[in-house]
């Protein structure tokens, strides 16, 4: 009879000790999902690097036109005006070589769902009076209890639909414009472009450093997680997993404090005395002025629609 | 302490530490009774194992931390926190003493590489055109043009180091304090850095480099200071004197005995670690010099 292999001997020992494969614990899944969410939402810059028509325009001009557009959308009153406005972000997305799936995944789908959920009650005559055009429930008679009132026929009203459509168009058009800006512009460029708006330099410095070190700590957390995974042989108790996560949070905190101390020293070493100073960029060129003019003309035309 | 220059006049130390004691936590000293003088235009290498106090020494020389006991004089002035934060001399000191941190992540805190390099000149209130021209020159000098608009988190370890060095050198400091500058660098980048340090000497700069990379020592320094594991200076001398003193290097934990197989024989000899080069020599060529496997 041949000797059992090394693997077999180990598996026999593991079985005798009641060890189970590590599997995928909910703690691990949560950590991975969290890390992936932050990486996706904050640092996905691949779309911003594509050679789209609008990526060639200075980010400052992109921020400026987005702000102008948002003001214009908020001033629009009628459905045709809002519909005309909606064309602009929808055209900007393919011009920036952003795929519809990426656009929806970046938050537009969530925006649609939540906007519809918010707007839906306003369409019913339960909350606001109006002319019912789509009856849903016929109670036969009205019901009143103190300040509460239910009409005999509950349904969708014309006025409610108009209100909901106005809200949805305004909200989703604005969200689309902001998403276009964030998908077509890298964080670094976005932060640099904000200087153009004369925001306090220290505020921009702090935001920039927050983004920078969130990334550094995120990477560190990912590495810690992978380090643990590489040495996790068998399944551990949930309580032990939670204790580990707790200890790592404390370690990350400690590490971030240490890093903060070092960053502060590095800043002092290069002459920082508490007053942030930032470098300005060159003034607008033809593409920037062109985009600005196009958006102004478009918004004016949309208001006349 | 003074030194005599070639023409005969006495030269005062540019940086002078006397009986320095520093501890991050009570009972765990980082520096114990350290005295060290660095003269203008000198290139000094500080050698020592991990945790011997090299980084602490550089932070102290850069006026970022202050000793618990002992005194530090730089440019003829006694350095303390008040002087650097309140006196106009502090601005001069920050401009003229540049430090490269061991951890590049701590040093790169701006949104882009370009902003990072511009940070120092902007703090000095240089005019915008001059800042741009300095940044451009530094970018060209380090060949980091393609990285200019990148964020620090998009850089590799070696690229981060290059940007960190460029962001220090753009200030044109007279004193350069480099903490493990070649750690994590590929051979070509490491070579370029050594050339930069040699070039700095030609420009009359004072360079203090903390390292445990023995390969670069003879090129980057004219004087070597060896730290022991007890956070005290173990020896000081020329690179030749130090690097040929095997017992000193062993005592400082900079080399260790290494067992190495050749066909049927084992050799035991001193050995040092480095990321790229594996350096050792065989004192005996005959099989009889080793032990039979």
Domain locations along chain A: 25-45+188-274, 46-185+280-305
Residue B31 in domain = yes
Would you give the DSSP letter of residue B139? Answer: H
User: Using one digit for the tens of pLDDT, what is the confidence trace for A82-134?
Assistant: 999 999 999 999 999 999 988 898 889 999 999 999 999 989 988 888 888 88
pLDDT exceeds 60 at position B175: yes
| Segment among A96-105, A226-235, A289-298, B127-136 with least mean pLDDT | A226-235
pLDDT of residue B245: 86
**Chain B residue with the nearest C-alpha to that of A207:** B111
pLDDT exceeds 50 at position A214: yes
* Chain B 9-68, residues with CB within 8 Å of chain A CB atoms: 59, 62, 64-65
* pLDDT above 90 coverage of chain A, percent: 27
Residues B81 and B205 in one domain: yes
Chain A contact for B79 (CB, 8 A cutoff): no
Q: What residues of A are in contact with residue B171 (Cβ under 8 Å)?
A: 270-271
**Minimum distance, in Å, between the CA of residue A194 and any CA atom of chain B:** 12
pLDDT exceeds 50 at position B286: no
pLDDT of residue B277: 36
Domain count, chain B: 2
* pLDDT above 70 coverage of chain B, percent: 84
Chain B contact for A208 (CB, 8 A cutoff): yes
| Mean pLDDT, residues B215-222 taken together | 90
B50 or B291, higher pLDDT: B50
Q: Which helix (H) or strand (E) holds A137?
A: strand A132-138
Q: What residues of A are in contact with residue B167 (Cβ under 8 Å)?
A: 270
Residues B183 and B272 in one domain: no
Residues B87 and B41 in one domain: yes
Residues B164 and B287 in one domain: no
Would you give the DSSP letter of residue A210? Answer: H
Residue B19 in domain = yes
Residues B286 and B242 in one domain: no
Residue B51 in domain = yes
Nearest to B109 among A187, A188, A263 (CB): A263
Residue B3 in domain = no
| Mean pLDDT, residues A227-241 taken together | 77
Q: In 3D, which of B165, B180, B158 has the Cα closest to residue B117?
A: B165
Q: What residues of A are in contact with residue B109 (Cβ under 8 Å)?
A: 208-209, 212-213, 263, 266-267
Nearest to B62 among A191, A262, A269 (CB): A269
Parallel/antiparallel/unpaired status of strands B175-179 and B206-211 = parallel
Q: ipTM beyond 0.90?
A: no
**Chain B residue with the nearest C-alpha to that of A218:** B153
Residues B107 and B243 in one domain: yes
Parallel/antiparallel/unpaired status of strands B43-47 and A153-157 = unpaired
Residues B102 and B228 in one domain: yes
CATH of the domain at B160: 3.40.50.300
Among A186, A207, A270, A278, the strongest candidate for a mutation testing the B interface, having the largest count of B CBs within 10 A, is A270
Q: What residues of B are in contact with residue A273 (Cβ under 8 Å)?
A: 85, 123
User: CA–CA separation, B138 vs B121, rounded Å?
Assistant: 12
- Parent domain of B268: 256-292
| Mean pLDDT, residues B269-290 taken together | 48
Residues B245 and B274 in one domain: no
**In b/e form, how buried is each residue of B95-131, taking b as 16+ CB within 10 angstroms?**
bbbbbbbbbbbbbbbbbbbbbbbbbbbbbbebeeeeb
- Three-state DSSP class for B266? strand
Q: In 3D, which of A261, A60, A56, A192 has the Cα closest to residue B118?
A: A192
Residues B63 and B133 in one domain: yes
Residues B150 and B283 in one domain: no
Residue B7 in domain = no
Residue B150 in domain = yes
Residues B234 and B284 in one domain: no
User: CA–CA separation, A84 vs A79, rounded Å?
Assistant: 9
pLDDT exceeds 80 at position B37: yes
Q: Which helix (H) or strand (E) holds A92?
A: helix A79-95
Nearest to A270 among B105, B153, B171 (CB): B171
Chain A contact for B286 (CB, 8 A cutoff): no
């Amino acid at each position: 009879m041949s000797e059992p292999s090394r693997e077999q001997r180990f598996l026999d020992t593991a079985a005798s000790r009641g060890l189970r494969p590590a599997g995928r614990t909910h703690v691990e899944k949560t950590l991975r999902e969290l890390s992936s969410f932050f990486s996706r939402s904050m640092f996905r810059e691949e779309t911003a690097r594509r050679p789209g028509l609008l990526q060639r325009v200075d980010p400052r001009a992109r921020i400026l036109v987005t702000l102008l557009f948002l003001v214009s959308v908020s001033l629009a009153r009628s459905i045709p005006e809002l519909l005309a406005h909606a064309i602009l972000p929808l055209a900007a997305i393919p011009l920036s070589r952003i795929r519809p799936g990426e656009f929806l995944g970046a938050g537009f789908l969530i925006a649609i769902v939540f906007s519809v959920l918010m707007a839906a009650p306003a369409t019913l005559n339960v909350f606001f009076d109006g002319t019912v055009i789509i009856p849903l429930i016929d109670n036969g008679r009205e019901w009143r209890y103190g300040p509460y009132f239910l009409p005999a026929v509950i349904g969708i009203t014309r006025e409610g639909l108009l209100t909901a459509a106005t809200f949805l168009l305004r909200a989703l058009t604005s969200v689309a414009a902001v998403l276009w800006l964030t998908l077509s512009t890298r964080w670094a460029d976005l932060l640099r472009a904000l200087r153009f708006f004369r925001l306090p330099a220290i505020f921009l410095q702090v935001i920039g450093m927050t983004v920078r070190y969130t990334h550094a700590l995120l990477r560190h957390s990912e590495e810690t997680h992978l380090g643990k995974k590489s040495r996790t042989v068998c399944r551990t108790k949930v309580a032990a997993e939670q204790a580990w996560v707790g200890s790592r949070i404390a370690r990350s905190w400690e590490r971030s404090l240490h890093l903060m101390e070092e960053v502060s020293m590095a800043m002092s070493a290069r002459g920082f005395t508490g007053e942030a100073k930032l470098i300005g960029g060159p003034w607008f060129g033809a593409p920037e002025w062109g985009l600005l003019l196009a958006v102004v003309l478009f918004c004016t035309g949309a208001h006349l629609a | 302490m003074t030194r005599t220059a070639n023409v005969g006049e006495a030269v005062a130390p540019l940086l002078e530490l006397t009986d320095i004691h520093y501890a991050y936590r009570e009972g765990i000293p980082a520096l114990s009774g350290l005295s060290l003088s660095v003269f203008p235009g000198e290139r000094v290498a500080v050698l020592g194992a991990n945790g011997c106090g090299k980084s602490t020494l550089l932070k102290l020389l850069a006026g970022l931390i202050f000793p618990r006991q002992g005194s530090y004089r730089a440019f003829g002035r006694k350095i303390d926190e008040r002087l650097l934060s309140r006196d106009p001399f502090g601005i001069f000191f920050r401009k003229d003493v540049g430090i490269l941190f061991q951890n590049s992540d701590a040093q790169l805190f701006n949104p882009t590489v370009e902003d990072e390099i511009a940070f120092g000149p902007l703090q000095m209130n240089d005019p915008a055109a001059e800042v741009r021209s300095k940044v451009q020159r530094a970018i060209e000098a380090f060949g980091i043009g393609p990285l200019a608009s990148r964020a620090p988190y998009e850089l590799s370890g070696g690229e981060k180091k290059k940007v960190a060095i460029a962001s220090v050198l753009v200030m044109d400091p007279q004193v350069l304090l480099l903490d493990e500058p070649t750690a994590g660098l590929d051979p070509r980048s490491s070579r370029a850095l050594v050339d930069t340090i040699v070039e700095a000497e030609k420009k009359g700069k004072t360079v203090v480099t903390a390292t445990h990379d023995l390969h670069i020592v003879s090129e980057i320094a004219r004087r070597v200071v060896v730290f022991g594991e007890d956070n005290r200076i173990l020896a000081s001398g020329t690179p030749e004197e130090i690097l040929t003193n095997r017992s000193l290097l062993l005592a400082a934990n900079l080399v260790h005995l290494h067992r190495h197989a050749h066909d049927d024989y084992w050799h035991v000899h001193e050995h040092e670690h480095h990321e790229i080069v594996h350096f050792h020599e065989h004192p005996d060529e005959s099989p009889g010099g080793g032990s039979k496997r």
